[in-house]
Amino acid sequence: MDYLKGLNDAQYDAVTTLEGPLMVLAGAGSGKTRVLTMRIAHLITNLVDPFNILALTFTNKAAKEMKERIAKVVGESEAKSLWMGTFHSVFARILRAEAHYLGFPSNFTIYDSQDSLNVIKKVMKELNIDSDLYKPKKVQARISTYKNNLITVKAYFNNPELIEADERTNMKHIGIIYQKYVEQCYRNGAMDFDDLLLKTNELLTRFPEVLAKYQDRFRYILVDEYQDTNHSQYLIVKALASKFENICVVGDDAQSIYSFRGANIYNILNFKKDYPDAKTVSLEQNYRSTQNIVNAANVVISKNVQQFKKNVFSDNEEGEKLKVYRALSDADEANFVAGNIWELHHSQQRKFTDFAILYRTNSQTRAFEDALRRKNIPYRVYGGLSFYQRKEVKDLIAYLRLLVNENDSEALFRVINYPARGIGETTQNKLIVFADSQNISVSQVLNNLGFYAPQLGLNNGILTKLSDFWSMIKAFQILLKTENVYQVAMEVAKRSGLIKFLKDDQTPEGISRVENVQELMNSMQGFIEEQHQLEEGDPSLSNFLENIALSADTQKDKEDDGTDKVSLMTIHLSKGLEFPVVHLVGLEENLFPSFMSSSTREELEEERRLFYVALTRAEKQAFFTYAVSRFQWGKITDAEPSRFLSEVDAEYLEFINPAVESRFVNHSGLKSNIFDDAPIEARSFRKLDPKKKIERTDSEPKIRKNLKPVSTARIINPSGESSQDIEVGDK
């Protein structure tokens, strides 16, 4: 059992405890995920049937990696039948098998957040609700919160407190929007992300025989990143585990960063209450990072009041100090980071995959992409607008969705007149109104067009167009019975006119759109091969669509083609990952911590946990950057360094700024302090010619080594309450 040899005592203890409830609560990089992986391998080695194991991970990518590692220990064929994946993907699979219990078709469509937002907007329009007063995104978030707390429409209307609370916040129409939204999804045969959990809960509580079936199947349940489970997920796990209580959860309360999506930190803190006999193991040694990184991260997180005190230490080398770069603008910041990566790539022979650029919000990506491109550094952006959310890709997918579930009216109206075939908005509206009046779906109208034609009030020309369109869809559906996903999609792309339409546009953007469609086809071939290798593989179109719907929000897999590229992602997405060199950028007040999340202590503590997550991704080196002015919301704004920078003890930091004089002349002749407010030269520059400033920052950044101490920098807390003096530059 070689795989047990590399474990420390505490890890060994956790891996070899196979029965009963077990919790591993430990800091970043201490081997929680490794323990989980090895524990599964150990279960299988001890003759537990992989069929009886369920492992829930935070991303599909993590599941895939774990599976590969387990396969190395127990062999490919054993690992094949393991159920491993995100909550959403595992429970979508169960819901498909059991959909009839809930009155849903087994080929239900999964709406990603964009789809569900579209439905909300339509519902609000129908209800004549002003979208300026009710921001659809806010409505969506509120509905999501209700669903994740298992508050159904019925439960909502039975709860005067909730109704009152919504009225108080001028959202008294939420209930009716929620109701209409749920009805519309049901009519479309669709579930949104939150439904995948809500409906699973419904399935397990309303149908004891279904619960018993899955309890018997999943005798061993393991959950990674347990601190970020929401109430709905918590209840599912609890229900499934209640028969055998072989439940192992691992997590770190200091890394709970999804409360905005309903994650409940108390799920992990109350584990002992739920399972009084639970064994708890804590892991203290961080194997990932240098001592400097671990110590700095510990200091910052210790500022949080609400936390479970943990000891985390590193036995690795002390390592370099954490470097801080103060940029004059966002473009300057991006140039520095790109230049730094280029320099380390050459001087330390680092691969590009060794580097990550982590930021608080997706909108920060562009500047880094520009700077990397200028230096010909290959990179990969994770998240953001994912491949599957690009318009041309979504259009083709909409056709495919319609083939699988013709009640999916979102998909139907996306393609009914795309490419244009003379079925305009007026016709579409007539169809919708008529279908509503008959309480049937639009596809039912189209299926019986001859019968309904006299009542529709459409002329013969239009009726012919509608009938042609629908016959085409029907023909594709027939094709689906005999041909594989790839062949069907190819036929759809050609016969619908989509490819021709895209090809007619010979601009670079147009060409890239055609390439994207081609790429989608390629991914289908990959999918077919992949499914053939799985024991319970399912190469159907509906499974393909499910896979992409579920990876759309954390789109990582598609871009992850294994080539040597720098990774760009939000901190949220970086959870669980590790990189030799991390650049944590945009460390400014109102950006990180975000201006939306610094009003209460709870919010601020969550931002601090985010900082902790970001820093603890780094193995060898961490770079912090901030800009004193930034182009945001269409204008240049001044920025102050983030309070989190001042929370890191000075002993772990090193400032690598060349003083600003190299490119920005400080007319006053004064050297500005590192943490001063916007420096004089930047300020005056802005007044003179803001455009010019951006152009000038495009020049090559200089990485200065062997900097002499240039001045004493003051770290000023944004509150202005305390400050400390530190030395700047190398010793």
> In what helix (H) or strand (E) does residue 727 lie, and over which residues does it extend?
strand 723-727
Q: What is the secondary structure of 606-662 as a DSSP string?
A: HHHHHHHHHHTTEEEEEEEEEESEEEETTEEEE--B-HHHHHS-GGGEEE-PPPGGG
Least spacing, CB of residue 332 vs ligand ATP, in Å:
31
Q: Of 683, 673, 659, nearest to 715 (Cα)?
A: 673
Residue 255 annotated to the active site = yes
Is 28 marked within a binding site? yes
Least spacing, CB of residue 257 vs ligand ATP, in Å:
11
Structure tokens at 608: 């601090």
Is 367 marked within a binding site? no
* Catalytic residue chosen out of the listed positions 147, 617, 620, 643: 617
Residue 616 annotated to the active site = no
Number of residues that bind Mg ion (CB under 5 A): 3
Asked if residue 576 binds Mg ion (CB under 5 A), the reply is: yes
**Cβ nearer to Mg ion, comparing 610 with 716:** 610
Q: Of 491, 497, 489, 443, nearest to 470 (Cα)?
A: 443
Least spacing, CB of residue 32 vs Mg ion, in Å:
5
Per-position b or e across 452-475, b if 16+ CB within 10 A of its CB: beeebebeeebbebbeebbebbee
| Those residues with Cβ within 8 angstroms of residue 644's Cβ, 6 or more apart along the chain or in another chain | 300, 587, 592, 593, 607, 608, 611
Taking residue 87's Cβ as centre, other Cβ atoms within 10 Å add up to 21
Alpha-carbon gap, residue 421 to 125, rounded angstroms: 26
Query: Which span (27-35, 481-489, 502-510, 666-674) binds Mg ion, by CB under 5 A?
Result: 27-35
| Residue 28 contact, options ligand ATP, Mg ion, none, Cβ 5-8 Å cut-off depending on partner type | ligand ATP
* Catalytic residue chosen out of the listed positions 194, 195, 225, 332: 225
Residue 168 annotated to the active site = no
Residue 617 annotated to the active site = yes
Which residues of the shown chain bind ligand ATP in the complex (CB under 6 A)? 6-8, 11, 28-34, 252, 255, 287-288, 576, 578, 616
In a 13 Å sphere around the CA of 382, the CA atoms on its Cβ side amount to 24
Residue 481 annotated to the active site = no
Structure tokens at 667: 């007319």
Asked if residue 57 binds Mg ion (CB under 5 A), the reply is: no
| Residue 323 contact, options Mg ion, ligand ATP, none, Cβ 5-8 Å cut-off depending on partner type | none
Is 92 marked within a binding site? no
| Residue 701 contact, options ligand ATP, Mg ion, none, Cβ 5-8 Å cut-off depending on partner type | none
Phi, psi of 135 (to 5 degrees): -65, 120
| Residue 156 contact, options ligand ATP, Mg ion, none, Cβ 5-8 Å cut-off depending on partner type | none
CA distances from 291 to 179, 557, 583, 618 (A): 53, 32, 18, 11
Cα angle value 223/225/227 (rounded, 5°):
105
Is 30 marked within a binding site? yes
SS3 674: coil
Nearest residue to ligand ATP on Cβ basis? 31
* Catalytic residue chosen out of the listed positions 33, 200, 616, 697: 33
Is 331 marked within a binding site? no
Residue 603 annotated to the active site = no
Alpha-carbon gap, residue 73 to 223, rounded angstroms: 20
Least spacing, CB of residue 65 vs Mg ion, in Å:
11
Least spacing, CB of residue 36 vs Mg ion, in Å:
8
* Catalytic residue chosen out of the listed positions 37, 140, 255, 554: 255
Is 31 marked within a binding site? yes
Least spacing, CB of residue 642 vs ligand ATP, in Å:
21
Is 552 marked within a binding site? no
Q: Which residues are annotated as a binding site?
A: 26-33
- Give the residue numbers of the binding site for ATP: 26-33
Q: Which residues are catalytic?
A: 32-33, 224-225, 255, 617
